[in-house]
């Protein structure tokens, strides 16, 4: 397939993901049964974002125009992709880059997130039999020419050890933060609730830490977060909420809650499921400078940064860890 044909194939895939056919609905149900964190509304959100921001003609064409090399002939290499499993189809963007680049993709999927990706690959193979073998799902990635691996800080150490002699992109734990001024509208706070609560806060683009000015009034924020109060009925989330509340009570730690999320003053960027950390700031410019040099921050949300509600709507050029995956693959 040439680039125009691949682009058309991806647009077709985007339409399929948006159409919500009975076949796709059955696959989504299987994905939820296999991983209780993948509730149907969150799977729908992931599929809608992929369809709209990755696979629509306009953003796809604009993205590809930034890579003139994509039309050049090249000897296909074997590229190993190790995907995380924290949110639905978290490895899709890596696969998309591999598919467009023309390399042979070997994917190791997380057991937490394999059903949706396997179905997508099956549909591509069904529609375009000549592409059925460009991507293979493997339990062990061996004999690859390059690797792209995403995981925890602990697994990243192993990736560095095993893949050191090959061209590689290795990603570790990251999270996102928001800077508030206290002048946010109710609509902006409701959008921030999406950034915090979508996917139960498990994504690297989820806001797990907020920075607020001194004397900040938390009442409007707690009210806005009630948008996701129904998550307290989810047994996995509720277990985490109850556990973290018990820890705070046992340690006599101050906290705030609306019954479905806990707010705790804490210097850490990463917060446990059901907890949102906050810290106070005095000088926003200084805070922004500090966060710009923080390697663990994937996305910074606020009135002067990524708009509220858009943290979990990345574009094709919002590469994880800021490393251009497409450029990496085209230069192999």
- Identify the domain boundary among 144, 171, 198: 171
What's the CATH number where 231 sits?
Answer: 3.40.309.10
Percent of the chain with pLDDT over 90: 96
Q: Does one domain contain both 40 and 133?
A: yes
Distance CA 102, CA 329 (A): 9
SS3 state of residue 218: coil
pLDDT of residue 150: 95
CB 207 within 8 A of CB 176: yes
Residue 306 DSSP class: B
pLDDT level of residue 291 (50, 70, 90 thresholds)? very high
Asked if residue 274 is part of any domain, the answer here is yes
As for how many domains the chain has, the answer is 2
The side-by-side arrangement of strands in the sheet containing 175-179 is 256-257, 262-265, 275-281, 207-213, 175-179, 297-301
Work out the mean pLDDT of the chain and round it to a whole number: 97
CB 224 within 8 A of CB 186: yes
Structural domain of 234: 175-301
Q: Give 189's Cβ-side CA count (13 Å radius).
A: 19
pLDDT tens sequence across 43-63: 999 999 999 999 999 999 999
- Identify the domain boundary among 128, 143, 171: 171
pLDDT level of residue 93 (50, 70, 90 thresholds)? very high
Q: Check residues 292 and 270 and name the one with the higher pLDDT.
A: 270
- pTM to 2 decimals? 0.95
What's the CATH number where 147 sits?
Answer: 3.40.605.10
pLDDT tens sequence across 179-236: 999 999 999 999 999 999 999 999 999 999 999 999 999 999 999 999 999 999 999 9
Q: Does one domain contain both 179 and 157?
A: no
Q: Residue with structure tokens 């950034």? A: 195
Q: Residue with structure tokens 């409701």? A: 190
Asked if residue 326 is part of any domain, the answer here is no
pLDDT of residue 168: 98
Distance CA 106, CA 126 (A): 19
Asked if residue 75 is part of any domain, the answer here is yes
pLDDT of residue 71: 93
pLDDT level of residue 293 (50, 70, 90 thresholds)? confident
Find the radius of gyration of the CA atoms of the chain.
21
Report, as an integer, the average pLDDT of 99-116: 98
Non-local (6+) Cβ contacts of 53 within 8 A are 59, 313, 314, 315, 316
Distance CA 329, CA 74 (A): 11
Q: Does one domain contain both 150 and 15?
A: yes
């Amino acid at each position: 397939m040439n680039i125009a044909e691949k682009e058309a194939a991806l647009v077709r895939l985007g339409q399929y993901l948006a159409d919500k056919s009975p076949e796709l609905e059955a696959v989504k149900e299987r994905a939820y049964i296999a991983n209780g964190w993948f509730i149907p509304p969150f799977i729908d959100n992931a599929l809608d974002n992929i369809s709209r921001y990755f696979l629509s003609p306009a953003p796809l064409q604009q993205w590809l125009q930034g890579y003139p090399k994509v039309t050049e002939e090249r000897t296909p290499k074997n590229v190993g992709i190790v995907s995380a499993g924290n949110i639905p189809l978290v490895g899709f963007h890596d696969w998309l880059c591999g598919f467009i680049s023309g390399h042979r993709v070997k994917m190791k999927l997380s057991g937490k997130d394999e059903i949706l990706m396997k179905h997508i690959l099956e549909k591509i193979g069904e529609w375009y039999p000549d592409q059925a073998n460009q991507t293979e799902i493997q339990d062990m990635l061996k004999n690859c020419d390059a690797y792209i691996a995403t995981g925890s800080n602990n697994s990243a150490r192993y990736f560095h050890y095993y893949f050191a002699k090959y061209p590689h992109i290795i990603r570790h734990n990251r999270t996102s933060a928001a800077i508030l001024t206290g002048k946010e509208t109710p609509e902006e706070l409701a959008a921030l609730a999406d950034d915090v609560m979508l996917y139960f806060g498990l994504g690297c683009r989820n806001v797990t830490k907020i920075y607020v000015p001194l004397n900040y009034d938390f009442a409007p924020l707690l009210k806005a977060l009630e948008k996701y109060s129904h998550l307290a009925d989810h047994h996995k989330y509720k277990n985490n909420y109850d556990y973290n509340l018990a820890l705070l009570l046992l340690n006599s730690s101050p906290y705030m809650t609306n019954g479905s999320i806990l707010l705790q003053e804490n210097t850490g960027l990463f917060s446990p499921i059901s907890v949102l950390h906050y810290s106070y700031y005095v000088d926003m410019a200084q805070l922004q400078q500090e966060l710009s040099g923080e390697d663990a921050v994937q996305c910074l949300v606020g009135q002067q940064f990524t708009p509220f509600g858009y943290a979990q709507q990345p574009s094709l050029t919002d590469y994880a860890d800021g490393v251009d995956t497409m450029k990496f693959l085209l230069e192999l």
